Homo-oligomer: A and B are copies of this chain.
């Protein structure tokens, strides 16, 4: 039995309505899981982060690892043009494993420095590069899902598989994965990139291998029109996935749902689909603002995703900030029947809420995986600092801190990143 305690100022959300916090406390970790808080010093080794803010591990429900190379660039276009002119040519480079090695090393190294513990990530169509990615994430200590992308139509020849090749390579990917904490996930890019034959075969593979599914849904108005023309028999974009067996059979994550309709919401709720809300991507690509409060109030599982590189930050805490910001604009400009998100609600989506896709992560409750980050608040100077409450410290950190200000990070009880450069 491995037993130790962490000491510091803990803050977390057990439900969306409010923060829980415990200053200057000990949190006992047993065999990679949180056991309980203690106000007095326990009789075991102590990781002493006294005076530092500690948050539970955060979950990034949607991002594209190969796009990290150009994150922050080419933001003057909408989705479909952006895919054709920038994203597809960049993703094509991952056929070259030496490029993949270089790019994925940077991606994993930078991701380690953020508070993200769990992720569901897209690779490219290239099986070998995606195996490299999943292995790098596993070695770095991450937990979650990584998918080889499927695309057999409507993409440039240099980034298109034949239907049979796409299916065969998916089998090869699944059978080559030897990882434990990072698992494969079925990853049709989106309806326009995959033929009906490919989509329905991927649905069968998900069921056969008991694998979750990730894709994109209702991101952009032109995309939705395109899906209608490609599958006119489907009643909606959601229904298109439902018909192909890609939602409702196994767990799934659908990114965006910016333009989700009232008809789609019950299907998403009843199938337990998780929506990955990516506000930064949605404004960068001029997509719109997803009706997040409505999805939550209708009982649809909703978490956050950076959507690198539609989104321009690798930190899910930037997404927390952006989710609140755009919810205020939606309330003011689009629909005042749903109030803006509060900080605790958005933080819950990034932690326990989105984390529930992966299991028991994102909270300091007993039995939860010992995923946590110790925040580095050292570059935030204010004359108020002595009198700030823990929720105020978290709020100011989320607003002001740079991307990578994490002193230490643990996933499943193991320290995977430690930075004491500033001490």
Contacts and interface: CB of A to CB of B under 8 A. Distances in A.
Contacts of A109: 381
A95 interface: no
A396 B102 contact: no
Contacts of A284: 325, 328
A287 B332 contact: yes
B70 A382 contact: yes
Contacts of A396: 70-73
A80 interface: no
Given A332-B286, A384-B69, A324 B75 contact: yes
A383 interface: yes
A48 B392 CA distance: 43
Contacts of A398: 72
Contacts of A235: none
B340 A383 contact: no
A342 interface: yes
Interface stretch (A179-187, A267-275, A292-300, A399-407): A399-407
A404 B380 CA distance: 11
Contacts of A141: none
The number of times this chain is found in the oligomer is 2
Nearest to A311: B399
B328 A72 contact: no
B399 A71 contact: yes
Given A399-B72, A400-B72, A102 B383 contact: yes
Interface of A: 68-76, 99, 102-103, 106, 109-110, 280, 283-289, 312-313, 321, 324-326, 328-334, 340, 342-343, 379, 381-384, 392, 395-400, 402-404
Given A74-B395, A110-B381, 18 more contacts: A69-B384, A70-B396, A72-B395, A72-B396, A73-B396, A73-B399, A75-B324, A75-B343, A75-B395, A106-B383, A280-B325, A286-B331, A288-B329, A289-B329, A313-B399, A313-B400, A326-B329, A333-B333
